[in-house]
Structure 1
Amino acid sequence: MGPSLPAGPHAYQEVLRFDTPPWHTGGTPNPIEIRNLERGVAYRIVYSKSAVENGDYYACNIRPCIAAGEQARVLQSLPVKLGVFDQQLAIVSMAFGDAEVNDSMLLVHPSSLLRALTGLFETSWRSAYPLHFGERVPPALRPIQRRILELLGSGVTDETIAELLGISRRTLSRQLEQLNRAADATTRFQLALYAARKGWI
């Protein structure tokens, strides 16, 4: 179960979630998801860019869940906060912009609305950008460089990348220079094309 949803729903196979502020638990760690991942529950999460940009949340929640096996992607923004549990129950609540107007939640049981919400998730999942490329780090890259490429793909700023990785802007610039040299790239677009061709991402 995710950090933006209340305690209660249990999943045995799969959780689908839109994760965006504000968080009902205050953006704290998520031991329930990590335990569920350990027992084989699959998690596919689409984060809003604002969730990834929150350094504390990224460190205490997003990174540990990805490390435990969560599949994560990111979009610029999300229309609602959503959790779908085993395709049997959905919980919907307002995203950040509407939260002050309406703090209620909607429980959706098997119905055409539940199928529509699942379809919305799947469409968003297909158009979202990967936030994690897997555990394998190509020999040409250091782990920090792989994480830089992951975050570049999420659309966050260089300043945010440095903050999320706990490195200075100067260190980030040096790592990017090394990546560009390795790819013989002069633009980020060229770097992305090279990284895709070489299997870095």
Structure 2
Amino acid sequence: MLSAIGLDEIQESAYRTLVGLGAAEVSDLAHRLTLPEEEAVLALRRLERHGLAAQSSARPGRWVAAPPAVALGALLRQQRHELEQAELAAALLTEEYRAEAAEPAVHDLVEVVTGAAAVAHRFLQLQLGATKEVCALVTGNPTTVRGMDNDAEERASNRGVRYRVVIERDVLSGPSGITELRAALGRREQVRVIDRVPTKLVVADGALAMVPLTRRASEPSAVVVHASGLLESLTGLFDRVWREALPLHLDTDGIPYEGRSDGPDATDLEILSLLLAGLTDASVAKQLELGLRTVQRRVKRLMELTGVFTRLQLGWHAYELGWVARKDRLAPER
């Protein structure tokens, strides 16, 4: 937990032990940490440089822990200050980049990344740099990078980044496919399955996309596509595959299953029909004797289920999926 302020596991353990004891001899601390005394002294020296421990003036060889609220508070404030400075520098560089790239040359819209390490690093950057959404198509035979990086996804999800992932059915039969799927669904990510995806693909915030190149050389490579018509085409490709794929869920025993079993119920269909007839949320709630928030919550769930962002899109998908039907106009009376 204290690695963010520059402590390794041994140093953190030493400080925690010292805090619990208040003060300790080097030999006692080394025994408790099961370390040679030389390593215990090195850890204490590092804590001393961070202001987390000090040698007792009354008893040489005895070390005293600094109060966590004071010592750690100072370090955290310093870290926050450095992060604020880094964020300011990033913002200035972003503005400078945008000013220079207002009219990018054609060859600047596509970035070629070569080498397994470079491709894996760029893949990680795309996920950790996303602020809103990451969309991915995952094949059954990843080569350079894993299709679902649990650590990167967890870190991004913790920042509120939404994930929509379509995986090939073969991924589920892989050695860690079910484990990774459970982890993804546990983070409330939206995962769908399809027999085959056209290509491996990741799109971050609709601003950057990454696609692997055909491996003709000894080293794998990929292209990173910046804002352009090509990026819009790749985003459209993902949306098409997403609509065709089936959602994946976990049953009560934690076993994945696919299908639209969490589709709209009778109340959902009534809400959709009334909304498509032009009624407001408040009018629908009154007609069906529901709370306004209940109506809005159900509509939001249906939008998440269909993977759309507007109610107009939801109406279109409702017709395409057969949730609602167009009623024929009444024939004129004779």
TM over 0.5: yes
Residue correspondence of structure 1 range 47-196 to structure 2 within 5 A? 47-59=167-179, 61-93=180-212, 103-132=220-249, 143-144=252-253, 147=255, 150-151=257-258, 153=259
Q: 1:12 to 1:28 in 2, by over 3 A?
A: closer
Contact 2:212/2:223 (8 A) holds in 1: yes
Q: 1:29 to 1:112 in 2, by over 3 A?
A: closer
Q: 1:74 to 1:91 in 2, by over 3 A?
A: same
Among all aligned residue pairs of Structure 1 and Structure 2, give the percentage whose two residues are the same amino acid: 32
Q: CA deviation at 1:147?
A: 3.3
Return the letter of the residue paired with 1:143. Answer: T
Contact 2:134/2:164 (8 A) holds in 1: yes
Q: CA RMSD in A?
A: 3.3
Q: 1:4 to 1:18 in 2, by over 3 A?
A: farther
Cα distance in 2 for residues equivalent to 1:110 and 1:63: 33
Q: 1:4 to 1:76 in 2, by over 3 A?
A: farther
**Residue by residue, what CA displacement relative to the aligned partner does 1:83-108 show, whole Å, maximum 9, x if unpaired?**
000011000015xxx65778321110
Structure 2, unaligned runs of 5 or more: 1-119, 267-334
Cα distance in 1 for residues equivalent to 2:131 and 2:153: 12
Q: 1:107 to 1:26 in 2, by over 3 A?
A: closer
Where 1:8 maps in the other structure, the secondary structure is: helix
2:151 pairs with 13, 31, 54, which one?
31
Return the letter of the residue paired with 2:135. Answer: L
Cα distance in 2 for residues equivalent to 1:99 and 1:15: 25
Return the letter of the residue paired with 1:8. Answer: Q
Relative contact order: is structure 1 or structure 2 higher (C-alpha 8 Å, sep ≥ 6)?
1
Where 1:40 maps in the other structure, the secondary structure is: coil
Equivalenced residues, count? 144
- TM-score, normalised relative to structure 1: 0.60
Return the letter of the residue paired with 1:91. Answer: M
Q: 1:100 to 1:198 in 2, by over 3 A?
A: farther
- Between structure 1 and structure 2, the one with the greater Rg is 2
1:11 pairs with 122, 125, 130, which one?
130
Q: CA deviation at 1:19?
A: 1.1
Return the letter of the residue paired with 2:247. Answer: P
